[in-house]
């Protein structure tokens, strides 16, 4: 009887000591939510940039400014909850700049090749638009911007997408 009492006491002691340590690990996340953990401050900043880009894009037709804002989101927060809209605005703005539309001239968009400043040609803007819109279509097929992106890619002449649709 004394041996059983000693064994039960040892088990009870082990549960009391080890139990809280095991319980503390209960909050560990796994699965799809673990891969998409988002920094709330970065989300807030990206959402602000998207709202500004949306305003430049829709209301002001300032496509250079819209493209710059969305590029900041895409580069700085690839897990942003509304990245599909950022890709759509970036692609559409690039396409508009290729067609010389809007209130800002395409030569206001400056890219850097090392320390050399350069402006992009219409073909380079068109390729940029194709890249952003293709990424939207392939990475976010359920996006509400999908049909608009498909149509823009048809206009641009994305051979892979046009061939797969036929």
**Is the model's pLDDT at 18 over the cut of 90?**
no
Query: Is 99 within the bounds of a domain?
Result: yes
Query: Taking the mean position of all CA atoms in its chain, how far away is CA 147?
Result: 18
36 closest CA partner among 1, 70, 4, 80:
80
Query: Is 22 within the bounds of a domain?
Result: no
The residue segments making up the domain with residue 67 are 36-165
Query: Is 88 within the bounds of a domain?
Result: yes
CATH of the domain at 145: 1.25.40.10
**Is the model's pLDDT at 9 over the cut of 60?**
yes
Query: Is 5 within the bounds of a domain?
Result: no
How much is the pLDDT for 38?
85
The total of structural domains in the chain comes to: 1
Confidence bin at 6 (pLDDT 50/70/90): low
Report the C-alpha dihedral over residues 97, 100, 101, 106, rounded to 10 degrees: 50
How much is the pLDDT for 124?
95
How many angstroms separate the CA atoms of 163 and 119, rounded? 32
Query: Is 10 within the bounds of a domain?
Result: no
Q: Based on C-alpha coordinates, what's the Rg of the chain?
A: 26
Q: pLDDT averaged over the chain?
A: 84
Query: Is 27 within the bounds of a domain?
Result: no
For 24-47, give the DSSP string: HGGG---SHHHHT---HHHHHHHH
Segment 27-85, tens digit of pLDDT: 444 444 445 678 999 999 999 999 999 999 999 999 999 999 999 999 999 999 999 99
Query: Is 70 within the bounds of a domain?
Result: yes
How many angstroms separate the CA atoms of 27 and 55, rounded? 40
Query: Is 73 within the bounds of a domain?
Result: yes
Can you list the pairs that 160-163 forms with residues at least 24 positions away whose Cβ atoms lie under 8 Å? Answer: 160/134, 161/134, 161/137
Segment 87-145, tens digit of pLDDT: 999 999 999 999 999 999 999 999 888 889 999 999 999 999 999 999 999 999 999 99
């Amino acid at each position: 009887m004394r041996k059983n009492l000693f064994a039960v006491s040892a088990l009870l002691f082990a549960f009391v000591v080890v139990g809280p340590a095991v319980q503390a690990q209960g909050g560990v996340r796994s699965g799809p939510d673990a891969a998409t953990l988002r920094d709330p401050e970065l989300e807030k900043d990206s959402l602000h940039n998207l709202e500004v880009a949306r305003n430049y894009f829709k209301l002001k037709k300032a496509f250079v400014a819209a493209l710059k804002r969305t590029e900041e989101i895409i580069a700085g927060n690839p897990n942003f909850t509304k990245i599909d809209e950022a890709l759509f605005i970036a692609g559409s703005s690039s396409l508009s700049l290729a067609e010389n539309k809007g209130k800002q001239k395409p030569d206001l968009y400056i890219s850097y090749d090392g320390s050399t400043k350069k402006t992009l040609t219409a073909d380079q803007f068109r390729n940029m638009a194709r890249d952003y819109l293709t990424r939207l279509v392939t990475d976010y097929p359920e996006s509400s911007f999908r049909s608009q992106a498909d149509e823009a890619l048809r206009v641009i002449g994305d051979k892979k997408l046009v061939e797969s649709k036929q």
